[in-house]
Amino acid sequence: MCGIIGYIGEKNPIDILINGLKSLEYRGYDSAGIALKNKDQVETIKSVGKIINLEEKIKSTDLISSNLGIAHTRWATHGRPSEENAHPHQSGKITLVHNGIIENADELREKLKKEGISFYSETDTEVVAALINKYYEKSPVDAITKALQEVKGSYALGILFEDNEDLYAVRKDSPLIVGLGQKENFIASDIAAIIDYTNKYILLEEKEIAHIRKDKVEVIKEGKVIDKKIEQTNLEKDSKDKNGYDHYMLKEIMEEPVVLEKTFKPYLEHLDSLPDLTKYEEIHIVACGSAMYAGMIGKTLLEEYANTKVEIDVASEYRYKNIIYDRKTIVILISQSGETADTIAAMRKAKEHNIDTLAIVNVKTSTIARESDSQIFIEAGPEIAVATTKAYILQVGIMALLAYKTALTKDLVKEEHKVLEEAEHLPRLIKEVLDRQDEYKEIAKEIYKEEDIFFIGRKIDYATSMEGSLKLKEVSYIHSEAYQAGELKHGTISLIDEGMPVFAIITDDTIKDKTVSNIEEVKSRGAKTIIISNESWDNQKLQVVVPRISPYFQPLLIVPTLQLIAYETAKLRGCDIDKPKNLAKSVTVE
Ligand code: F6R
C-alpha cells in the first residue's frame, strides 16, 4: 500500500527520494509525489500513475535546491487517484505524507471548515495537515501532539514545517522507521526504501515523535526524549534485484527450495523448539488471503493427522465476530508482512481476552512479530512481487511441521523417521518440480485465452485449489473459482461449458475416487480438465505429476506447479505480473 521516504542531509534529496519510491513500488500505488524544502520555501510535485511520470515532471521543472525532502506513493482510499489527492499534502505551514486511514476525517473536516479552513482534496490526510497547522505556534512537537489527540485511526506521518529546518515523523498502527546515516538521516515505511544508504535504523513505536536533523535524531514520548535501540538489518542491498529473472515473481518462486531449507533447518534439528499445541483445548487460525489458505492446509493436517479440532477465519471477519473464548485457546496468526491491518486487529482482540497468540511471520520487525506472544519466523527474505509465493510455501511448511509435532506428541505418528527424512528431501523435490517449466508453459498456452476457470479438490486438495485459483486470478486477471469437488453440482456446474478449463487437484488417497467421479461430471459437460496429482492418470491429456511424498508435505510439491502455471499464463496475457492492478503488497488498511 502507500509508501513513505524522507531525507535530511547534505545531498540533494531528489535521486534518493525517487530511488526510495521505486523500492516501495512493489507495495502497490496509483500516484506519487515529493516535497522539497529550502529555508521557508516548500515545493511539491505530484503525478498520477507510475513513478516514471513523476520523474518526467521533475525533469521538466526548475526545482529549488534543497537538502530536505519527503516523498510518497499513494494507494487510493479516500478519493480517487488524482494529483489533488496525491501526497504530499499542504495546509498553511505544514507539508506532510501519510500512510494509514484517519477514521474521523469527515467529522474533523466539518469542524475545521466551520473554523474557516478550506480544503482542496478529498483526502483524510489533508485534514491532519490542517489540524497540525491549527495547533502550530512555535513547537512542532507540541503541534503534532495536540493534533493527534483529536485523530482516530492509523497513521505514519513524515512532516515538514515551513519555518523549521528539520524533519518530523510519528506513527500509530502503521510502520515507520528512522534510518541513520553519516551526516544524513531518513524516514521510511519500509527498510527497502533506504537499504542503499544505510542498514541502521530506529523503530518508532506507537505515538513516538521523531525530531530528525542531519546529525541528530531525538525520539520523544509523552513530552520526554527517550533512548532508542539502534537496529541493524541483515537485508542485502542486492535482495532488491531480479537476479536475471524477468520478474520478481519468478525469482521468488525459484528461491523456494533454498528458503525452505533455511526455514526448516532449526526445526528438523530440534522439533522441540516448535510450540506444543496440545496444551490448548482450542486452536484458532486467523489470517488473510493466501496466508489464510496456508492456514486451511494447516487446519486440515491438524484435524486429519493430529486429531485436533481447529477453527479458521479470515481476519476481517474474526475481528468483528462474537468469539466465545471459553476454553484454553491459542490464536495462530499467519502473515508474511506482519502489518496486515485486519490480522493485527484480530491479534489485539485475542490479547484483550488474555488469549495466547502465536505468529507465523516473515518480517521480524513487524507489528505482528513484536506484539504477538510467541513467533515462528519464516526465512523468506524480502518478497517483492505483490503475489506471495515463497512466503506462502513457508507458511504451509511451518503448518505442516506444527501438525506433525502435534501428532507426534499425541503418539499418533507411525513412521516417525520416514516423515522427517522426507522433510529433508523437500528442497530437492521442490527444485525438481520447478525445473519442469516447459510443462507449465504448455498448460498456460491451453488456458491463457480463457475468461473463466475452475479449480476443484477435496479436503487438503481443496485448500490447495484455493491458493491455485487466487494466484491465477490475481496475476492473469482470468476469473477463477475454487470449489470443493463435491459441491459443484449444487449450482455452479451450470457454468461449465464446452472447453472450459477445470483444474483438479488429486493427492489425497482417502478421497481420490470421489474427486475422479466429479471430474467425470465436468468432463461430460464439455470441460477441458487439467489434473495436478501425485500419480499419473490414463487417457488424460493435460496433467502434471509431482513426486509422491508424506501427506504432510504433499501441498508443498503441488503449489509450485500452480504458481508457475499462473505466472506463465499472466506472461502470455501480457499482464503486469509483479504489480497486478488494484493490489497492494501489504494491506495496512481494513
Ligand atoms: C496473495 C497475497 C495476499 C496476502 C494477504 C495477507 O498473493 O499475497 O492474499 O497473502 O494480503 O498478507 P500478509 O501475509 O502480509 O498478512
Same domain, 9 and 118: yes
| pTM attached to this predicted model | 0.84
Specify if 582 maps to a domain: no
Domain range spanning residue 97?
A: 3-239
CA distance 472 to 478: 7
Closest atom, ligand 1, to C-alpha of 343: 16
Q: If residue 96 lies in a helix (H) or strand (E), which one and from where to where?
A: strand 94-99
Active-site residue, 523 included: no
Neighbour-count burial of 233, counting CB atoms closer than 10 A to its CB (0-12 exposed, 13-18 middle, 19+ buried): middle
Cα(356) to ligand 1 centroid in Å equals 23
Specify if 580 maps to a domain: no
Cα(69) to ligand 1 centroid in Å equals 31
Amino acid at 408: L
Specify if 70 maps to a domain: yes
Amino acid at 466: M
Q: Give phi and psi for 90, each to the nearest 5.
A: -130, 140
Tens of pLDDT along the chain (590 residues) come to 789 999 999 999 999 999 999 988 877 788 999 999 998 899 999 999 989 999 999 998 888 889 999 999 998 887 888 889 999 999 999 999 999 989 999 999 999 999 999 999 999 999 999 999 999 999 999 999 999 999 999 999 999 999 999 999 999 988 899 999 999 999 999 888 999 999 999 999 999 999 999 999 999 999 999 999 999 887 766 666 788 899 999 999 999 999 999 999 999 999 999 999 999 999 999 999 999 999 999 999 999 999 999 999 999 999 999 999 999 999 999 999 999 999 999 999 999 999 999 999 999 888 999 999 999 999 999 899 999 999 999 999 999 999 999 999 999 998 777 888 899 999 999 999 999 999 999 999 999 999 999 999 999 999 999 999 999 999 999 999 999 999 998 998 899 999 999 999 999 999 999 999 999 999 999 999 999 999 999 999 999 999 999 999 999 999 999 999 999 999 999 999 998 988 877 787 77
Same domain, 142 and 50: yes
Query: Which residue from 468, 417, 436, 463 is spatially nearest to 546, judged by alpha carbons?
Result: 436
Cα(363) to ligand 1 centroid in Å equals 13
Place of cell 502497490: 28
Pocket test for ligand 1, best of 336, 378, 390, 579 (most atoms within 8 A of CB): 336
Same domain, 159 and 300: no
Which listed residue (2, 22, 251, 299) is catalytic? 2
CA distance 538 to 523: 15
CA distance 85 to 78: 8
Same domain, 258 and 229: no
Closest atom, ligand 1, to C-alpha of 587: 11
Question: Given the DSSP bridges, would you call strands 177-180 and 356-361 parallel, antiparallel or unpaired?
Answer: unpaired
CA 537 to chain centre: 37
Specify if 589 maps to a domain: no
Same domain, 222 and 312: no
Same domain, 223 and 372: no
Task: Spell out the alpha helix ranges (H) of 25-139.
Answer: 51-59, 105-114, 124-135
Amino acid at 581: K
CA 305 to chain centre: 30
Tell me, what's the pLDDT at 272? 94
Cα(189) to ligand 1 centroid in Å equals 18
Specify if 218 maps to a domain: yes
Closest atom, ligand 1, to C-alpha of 290: 10
Q: Tell me the CATH number at 162.
A: 3.60.20.10
Q: Which residue has the least CA distance to atom 11 on ligand 1?
A: 289
Pocket test for ligand 1, best of 314, 388, 480, 559 (most atoms within 8 A of CB): 388
587 lines ligand 1 (CB under 6 A): yes
Half-sphere exposure of 494 (CA within 13 A, CB side): 3
- Whether omega for the bond prior to residue 88 falls within 30 degrees of 0, making it cis, is yes
588 lines ligand 1 (CB under 6 A): no
342 lines ligand 1 (CB under 6 A): no
208 lines ligand 1 (CB under 6 A): no
Same domain, 281 and 210: no
Half-sphere exposure of 214 (CA within 13 A, CB side): 14
DSSP assignment of 494-510? GG--TT-EEEEEE--TT
Helix axes 460-476, 289-306, angle to 10 degrees: 170
Region of residue 153 (phi > 0: left; psi between -120 and 50: alpha; otherwise: beta): left
CA distance 149 to 43: 28
Cα(294) to ligand 1 centroid in Å equals 10
Which of 188, 210, 239 is a domain's end point? 239
Which of 219, 239, 259 is a domain's end point? 239
**What total of structural domains would you count in the chain?**
2
Tell me, what's the pLDDT at 507? 97
Amino acid at 437: Q
Tell me, what's the pLDDT at 587? 81
Tell me, what's the pLDDT at 78? 78
Pocket test for ligand 1, best of 292, 316, 337, 474 (most atoms within 8 A of CB): 337
Residue partners of 344: CB distance under 8 A and separation at least 6:
173, 367, 368, 371
Same domain, 203 and 285: no
Which of 239, 260, 292 is a domain's end point? 239
Q: Which residue has the least CA distance to atom 9 on ligand 1?
A: 289
Same domain, 309 and 430: yes
Specify if 494 maps to a domain: yes
337 lines ligand 1 (CB under 6 A): yes
Cα(73) to ligand 1 centroid in Å equals 19
C-alpha cell at 38: 529550502
Specify if 201 maps to a domain: yes
- DSSP bridge pairs for 492: none
Same domain, 191 and 285: no
Q: Tell me the CATH number at 493.
A: 3.40.50.10490
Tell me, what's the pLDDT at 209? 98
Cα(392) to ligand 1 centroid in Å equals 8
Specify if 578 maps to a domain: no
Give Cα separations from 322 to 95, 314, 328, 332, 504 (angstroms): 42, 14, 17, 18, 36
Same domain, 82 and 142: yes
Neighbour-count burial of 438, counting CB atoms closer than 10 A to its CB (0-12 exposed, 13-18 middle, 19+ buried): exposed
Give Cα separations from 359 to 57, 225, 387, 437 (angstroms): 43, 32, 20, 34
Amino acid at 69: G
Same domain, 298 and 191: no
288 lines ligand 1 (CB under 6 A): yes
Amino acid at 197: Y
* C-beta separation of 156 from 193 below 8 A: no
Active-site residue, 585 included: yes
Tell me, what's the pLDDT at 239? 67
Closest atom, ligand 1, to C-alpha of 291: 10
Cα(27) to ligand 1 centroid in Å equals 11
Cα(175) to ligand 1 centroid in Å equals 17
Q: Is 161 helix (H, G, I), strand (E, B) or coil?
A: strand
389 lines ligand 1 (CB under 6 A): no
* C-beta separation of 102 from 56 below 8 A: no
376 lines ligand 1 (CB under 6 A): no
335 lines ligand 1 (CB under 6 A): yes
